[in-house]
Amino acid sequence: MQTFSSNYLKEFSTQVFLHFGVSKKDAEQAADVLSLSDLRGIDSHGVARLHTYFDMLTLGKINAKPNIKIIRDKKSVCTVDGDNGLGLVVGPKANEIAMEKAAQHGSGWVSVCNTNHYGIASYYSFKALERDMIGWSMTNTTKLVAPLWGAERMLGTNPISIAFPGLKNLPIVIDLATSAAAYGKIEIAKRKGAPVPKGWIINDKGEMTTDPSDMINGGALLPLGSDRELGGHKGYALSAMVDILTSVLSGANWGPFAPPFALRQEIPSRSVGKGIGHFFGAMEIDGFMDVTEFKKRIDEWIEVFRNTKPASGTNGVLIPGDPEHQEEAIRRKEGIPLLPAVVNDLLDISKQTGIPFEV
């Protein structure tokens, strides 16, 4: 692992986006989303993905200069067309619209079509915290997950994020994929030749398996809850909710028709809309309760839950967002550790664009 300063990586990402004619403001915005992901320790969504954005921009599959616009609107709600821009640009812009609506109407809700991969879901709920709002964020993604009792990939890992501010405590930050496990974990197990836990994946007949190759070769991830007994119908329903709010409601491609994020992924059998979809919400806390009172109540919630009697053999209950808060504190001081494969990807971008990247 080699470590880089967060600012250095952010500046490099910005230059890469600028290289494709992305505006300065948008390039900085896109780099900021990747940067927060790296700072929070969500390595899969940071500069590790820059090469994929680079590929898509190189091939003209993503519009570097989108004309993002509201295509339907009613006071606190609207639909935004992202004009096939970077999700890292369309997402923040649509989220901004949700927050402006919230400032004006008490809440704002934006369904987005014609967009692309938007980074970590919690980037957007963090933004709402800066304005004393409760922010919601969801996106659909390329199919990987089977609905309960299905034997094929029909839904993405469709994350949900929402965040709540404390007064003295760091915020409660919920950011969860609606699958039982992340696809990255299946890939890691395969590279190691190790089995995965029962409940993560099925093979192409829809049977549970612990062999990661079975999933990769035509199988699927299972939804949160895994099987019927443990509530797999609930994870499937939550993933369906995300799919519908982000993509049926906005006019994007839903379910198995969501276009792939990366070049090597399978192209859907047909198109039922434009791009993928996001959904953002913002609610003014002040519309419900005095903001300071709410934050004090959140502080107390955090303290009470942290003091839950611990399960034997564990260090006790965490607050959602705790692991990432801890990682962020370390990485802001010590920098971002990158795997050799990621460093090589960045060097390759550097070579192809002439943008310097020093290791």
In the window 225-244, what residues touch its own copies (CB under 8 A)?
225-226, 229-231, 233-238, 240-241, 243-244
Considering only residues 1 to 40 of the shown chain, the ones binding its own copies according to CB under 8 A are none
> Stretches 15-23, 51-59, 178-186, 340-348: which one binds its own copies (CB under 8 A)?
178-186
The pairing of beta strand 107-115 with beta strand 276-284? antiparallel
- Cβ proximity to its own copies, 34 vs 298, nearer residue: 298
> Stretches 46-54, 59-67, 81-89, 154-162: which one binds its own copies (CB under 8 A)?
154-162
Among candidate residues 13, 40, 44, the one with its CA nearest the CA of residue 28 = 13
User: From residue 295 to residue 314, what is the string marking binding to its own copies with x (rule CB under 8 A)?
Assistant: --xx-xx--xx--xxxxxxx
Considering only residues 71 to 100 of the shown chain, the ones binding its own copies according to CB under 8 A are 72-79
Strand-pairing partners, residue 174, are 162
> Stretches 67-75, 114-122, 209-217, 339-347: which one binds its own copies (CB under 8 A)?
67-75
Strand-pairing partners, residue 282, are 108, 135
Residue 166 vs residues 132, 159, 272, 299, 337: alpha-carbon distances, Å: 10, 23, 42, 5, 29
Least Cβ distance, residue 170 to its own copies (angstroms): 15
Least Cβ distance, residue 262 to its own copies (angstroms): 23
Q: Does 135 bind its own copies (CB under 8 A)?
A: no
| Residues written for the chain | 359
Query: Binder to its own copies among 20, 118, 126, 254 (CB under 8 A)?
Result: 254
Least Cβ distance, residue 10 to its own copies (angstroms): 28
Question: Token digits for 63?
Answer: 């519009």
- Cβ proximity to its own copies, 4 vs 136, nearer residue: 136
> In this structure, how many other beta carbons lie within 10 angstroms of the beta carbon of residue 310?
10
Query: Binder to its own copies among 172, 189, 215, 338 (CB under 8 A)?
Result: 172
Considering only residues 180 to 219 of the shown chain, the ones binding its own copies according to CB under 8 A are 180-181, 197, 199-200, 202, 205-207
Question: Token digits for 121?
Answer: 């879901």
Least Cβ distance, residue 52 to its own copies (angstroms): 26
- Cβ proximity to its own copies, 14 vs 226, nearer residue: 226
Tokens 């640009």, residue? Answer: 89
Q: From CA 247, how far away is CA 250, in angstroms rounded?
A: 5
Cβ–Cβ < 8 Å for 32, 45: no
Q: What are phi and psi of 120, to 5 degrees?
A: -85, 140
Q: From CA 195, how far away is CA 212, in angstroms rounded?
A: 6
Residues whose CB is less than 8 angstroms from the CB of residue 254 and which lie 6 or more positions away in sequence, other chains included: 140, 243, 244, 246, 247, 248, 272, 273, 277
Least Cβ distance, residue 317 to its own copies (angstroms): 5
Least Cβ distance, residue 162 to its own copies (angstroms): 6
> In this structure, how many other beta carbons lie within 10 angstroms of the beta carbon of residue 75?
11
Least Cβ distance, residue 222 to its own copies (angstroms): 9
Considering only residues 319 to 358 of the shown chain, the ones binding its own copies according to CB under 8 A are 320
Q: From CA 283, how far away is CA 302, in angstroms rounded?
A: 21
